[in-house]
Structure 1
Amino acid sequence: IPPEKILCSTLSTTIDKLVAELGFSYVDLVEGLRDGRFYALKRILCHDKEDRQEALHEVEMHGLFAHPNILRLEAHCMVEKGTKHEAWLLLPFLRRGTLWSEVEALRDKGTFLPEERIVPILLGICRGLQAIHAKGYAHRDLKPTNVLLDDEEQPVLMDLGSMNRARIEVKGSREAMALQDWAAQRCTISYRAPELFTVESHCVIDERTDIWSLGCVLYCMMFGEGPYDLIFQKGDSVALAVQNQLRVPASGRYSAALECLLSSMMAVNPQDRPHVSHILDQLEGLQPAPSGQDTTRI
């Protein structure tokens, strides 16, 4: 039996609606015939062998993890469409949507996420990143639209297609240019780390590209948009803007500790950025004390 027939046999025959259109992929809402649950069916259009390899890479990356803060892959198959193919990835459907939709809805009301909501969300994102980094990989495209929220507001990292080895040793200008071109295609410009805009001929790129992106996500939660979103929308140079240390606006809404943590993530030199384990330690200290616990210091 063809794999797509097996996959289709577990789903309703009608696709309920298109949830999202993402470049060369589409996400449909489908219903399971056996369990009655809703799923997201991601269909990746593959025009050639390279596209198919990239889709299978995304499948492989999902297979590395069984973590509550990383979206799990329920099933997958490759479907022939004439001379072309589609990779089908069956994923859980989280009806609450993305972190960006949450931030955007609040911004439209003229308000922002309070710190007591930001810290638990950031903790969950960091736990997902820690699991990825522990396997020797980096996400490389962390942004608010790639973070889903479940019904308990726990973040779940998605879109693992840009993941690659955490530590990349660049030897020579040809390798540098190849990595730079890859980043231009796979890493969203307004969340891309400075070292990926102009890759040096002899250097090591590591997982702290994710820490820069994490800082941009935190900034978005605090101020309603990423620090370089407006620069990109205006057509100005993001590559130039990220070379200067980000100045965190004084809002009065957040603790000095959270603002300091943000500044540390946005260090232009990747060697000055903390690793995710350090950020987790800092965030544990920002967690509100359990209700009823006396936090008075003597």
Structure 2
Amino acid sequence: MLLLPYLPGGTLHDELSVRAAERRHLPESEVVRLFAAVCEGVRAMHESRPALAHRDLKTANVLLSTDGSPVIMDLGSMAEARVTAETGAVARHLQDLCAERCSMPYRAPELFNIQAGHTLDERTDIWSLGCVLYALCFFKSPFEAAHERGDSVALAVLAGTVHVPDDSPYSQDLMDLIRRLLTVSAADRPFIGEVLDAVKALAARGDMGGDGAIHTPQPLVT
């Protein structure tokens, strides 16, 4: 038997859906706090031996504990991070796995078209983290709009265009970090240690506006 904790707060996706309906943004300090905690979980994966990649990081796969701390779940897509598609058959197999296990609006560009000789590494998760960070600010992945319109998500991802709403309440530094994580070329994306350094620099600036942190329900006591 496998016993897992019960987290009554639901998922980050649930919280952001409620906020989207009310157009109620998280304070920047809360965005940074939540994102830093998610990144710490990702660092544990990336710095394991061998390095592991989650490959399906998204707001629906982040639970909220009773104190509002994020908990990464759904590890069925996790695999060794560094893999080379040595043949066309291996490349097609990897691409099929990614199509099955990696949600399109959060999927890294290199996972849409894997060629023989192509090497993947843990920076596929860095792209997904960029989508999560954008969603923390604006309620959903930057590429979900294409999915909702029926347009090609793959083309939107490969273009890598990130739209910042005109009424964004967030700092330019935070928007710059999102764009840095959503670099189309995996080779130009930072590793998780660099991401955490950037997040800590943002956190050091202190509270940066917004209208209230996440508050999750307390567990029932019987």
- Cα displacement string for residues 30-72 of structure 1 (whole angstroms, at most 9, x for unaligned residues): xxxxxxxxxxxxxxxxxxxxxxxxxxxxxxxxxxxxxxxxxxx
More strand by share: 1
Q: Which runs of 4+ in 1 moved over 6 A?
A: none
- Counterpart-to-counterpart distance in 1, 2:118 and 2:205: 43
Which residue is 2:124 aligned to?
209
- Counterpart-to-counterpart distance in 1, 2:63 and 2:134: 17
Which of 112, 116, 137 pairs up with 1:222?
A: 137
- In 2, are the aligned partners of 1:248 and 1:263 still within 8 Å (CA)? no
More helix by share: 2
- In 2, are the aligned partners of 1:94 and 1:148 still within 8 Å (CA)? yes
Aligned with 1:161: secondary structure?
helix
Aligned AA for 1:283? Answer: V
Aligned with 1:171: secondary structure?
coil
- In 1, are the aligned partners of 2:33 and 2:203 still within 8 Å (CA)? yes
2:115 equivalent to 1:232: no
Stretch deviating more after TM superposition (135-144 or 110-119): 110-119
- In 2, are the aligned partners of 1:192 and 1:212 still within 8 Å (CA)? yes
Q: TM-score, normalised by structure 1?
A: 0.66
Give the % identical residues. Answer: 42
Structure 2: where are the runs of 5+ without partners? 208-222
Q: 1:269 to 1:260 in 2, by over 3 A?
A: same
C-alpha displacement at 1:154, in angstroms?
1.2
2:64 equivalent to 1:149: yes
Q: CA RMSD in A?
A: 1.5
Aligned AA for 2:32? Answer: V
- Map of 1:108-127 to 2, 5 A cutoff? 108-127=21-40
- In 1, are the aligned partners of 2:142 and 2:163 still within 8 Å (CA)? no
Q: Pick the structure with greater CA Rg.
A: 1
- Map of 1:161-172 to 2, 5 A cutoff? 161-172=76-87
Which residue is 2:75 aligned to?
160
Q: Which has the higher contact order (CA 8 A, sep 6+)?
A: 2
Q: TM-score, normalised by structure 2?
A: 0.88
Which residue is 2:41 aligned to?
128
Q: 1:252 to 1:231 in 2, by over 3 A?
A: closer
Aligned AA for 1:156? Answer: V
Aligned with 1:218: secondary structure?
helix
